[in-house]
Amino acid sequence: MDAPFLYNDFSTFLKRHFPFKVQKISLNAGFTCPNRDGTKGYGGCTYCNNQTFNPEYCRTDKSIVQQLEEGKLFFARKYPQMKYLAYFQAYTNTYGGLEALRRKYEEALAVDDVVGLVIGTRPDCMSDELLDYLAEQKERTFVLIEYGIESTSDKTLRRINRGHTWAETVDAVRRTSERGILCGGHVILGLPGETRADMVRQAEDISSLPLTTLKLHQLQLIRGTRMAREYEEKPEDFHLFDVDEYMEVVIDYVERLRPDIVLERFLSQSPKDLLVAPDWNLKNYEFNHRLWKRMRELDAYQGKKYDKCGK
Ligand code: SF4
């Protein structure tokens, strides 16, 4: 008997796009962040680690090609036939002039066995000019833009000094999707000032966007961040989930989510030496197994309550 449908998972999504196994390789392409240098804001998002944000860190010694070749070596030992997506992950990977950006993306695409780009960025850092270029690229290769949405509440976005609004997210996702470019989002559950009901309601706003993929992450407090200091000074302002509680929120969220959105992951895993709290000591796949079990127990599945949201 087939396993019951629980949610749209990312590996099935990749199988729909590629007839071979595909792995993302994370890159630090030497980008910086406009929410720190004053272009969009100062100080950065309050949860972002200040210590790792310095020009030295961003100025990686390794070229994009070198990073990809090293990543390929790592995975090819196990799966020699594997192909790869160049994942421009660190900082704001659309922050720069078009020519400089093109050079970086095309450097990655020229590497053997690289079959596409995944580009992480902020919603307020995506020009029409760049989208037009990416729309041309997607005729030749796989392209997915991943926007850091984080919250759909402007009050929360101000509180975490995100430096952009929900309206800017809506605009960026719309402009991306209008060009037929695959569009992903990333949100954090557990941000200060948001109740459990707010978080679950967020699924309705997210469902209204033409998103293809979504990552949910629990809030993690990282050493050296403004948010970690705020927590130290006023812990009562925060509600840090334990695993079971977070899982219940995720299930409520997923049930209210549009049924076709692909859920890429549910957990963030910051390095232990940087993590203040919560320390769940749980790998992504371990969380997924527990989630599947709990969803089956509850007869929960993605979109089960979506119609009731009135969308
Ligand atoms: S989270 Fe991203 S956008 Fe925010 S300060 Fe850090 S690098 Fe910049």
- Give me the domains of the chain, ranges plus CATH numbers: 10-309 (3.80.30.30)
According to the model, what pLDDT value does residue 182 have? Answer: 98
Q: Are 137 and 101 within 8 A, CB to CB?
A: no
| Alpha carbon distance 25, 68 (integer Å) | 7
Task: State the closest ligand 1 atom to the C-alpha of 162, by its place in the atom list counted from 1.
Answer: 4
pLDDT in tens, 12-48: 999 999 999 999 999 999 898 999 889 998 889 999 9
* Ligand 1 mean position, distance from CA 12 (Å): 30
Q: For ligand 1, say whether the CB of 122 is within 6 Å of any of its atoms.
A: yes
Strand order in the sheet with 262-265: 22-27, 83-88, 114-121, 142-150, 182-189, 213-218, 262-265
Task: State the closest ligand 1 atom to the C-alpha of 90, by its place in the atom list counted from 1.
Answer: 7
Q: Which residues of the chain have pLDDT under 50?
A: 53-58
According to the model, what pLDDT value does residue 183 have? Answer: 98
Please count the other Cβ atoms lying within 10 Å of the Cβ belonging to residue 217: 18
Give the H/E segment covering residue 64.
helix 64-76
Q: Which pair of tokens denotes residue 84?
A: 């790869």
Q: Are 77 and 16 within 8 A, CB to CB?
A: no
CA-nearest residue for atom 6, ligand 1, is 48
According to the model, what pLDDT value does residue 77 have? Answer: 87
Please count the other Cβ atoms lying within 10 Å of the Cβ belonging to residue 182: 20
Tell me the pTM. Answer: 0.95
* Ligand 1 mean position, distance from CA 136 (Å): 28
According to the model, what pLDDT value does residue 54 have? Answer: 45
Q: Are 58 and 238 within 8 A, CB to CB?
A: no
| Alpha carbon distance 216, 206 (integer Å) | 11
Task: State the closest ligand 1 atom to the C-alpha of 122, by its place in the atom list counted from 1.
Answer: 3
CA-nearest residue for atom 8, ligand 1, is 33
CA-nearest residue for atom 7, ligand 1, is 91
| Alpha carbon distance 108, 83 (integer Å) | 13
Residue in the structure block whose two tokens are 């949100």: 187
CA-nearest residue for atom 5, ligand 1, is 44
* Ligand 1 mean position, distance from CA 157 (Å): 12
Give the H/E segment covering residue 250.
helix 243-256
According to the model, what pLDDT value does residue 4 have? Answer: 79
Cis status, amide bond into 278, omega within 30 of 0? yes
pLDDT in tens, 136-157: 999 999 999 999 999 999 999 9
Cα–Cα distances (Å) from 24 to 74, 76, 84, 137, in that order, read 12, 13, 6, 18
Cα–Cα distances (Å) from 121 to 108, 145, 270, in that order, read 17, 8, 19
According to the model, what pLDDT value does residue 78 have? Answer: 85
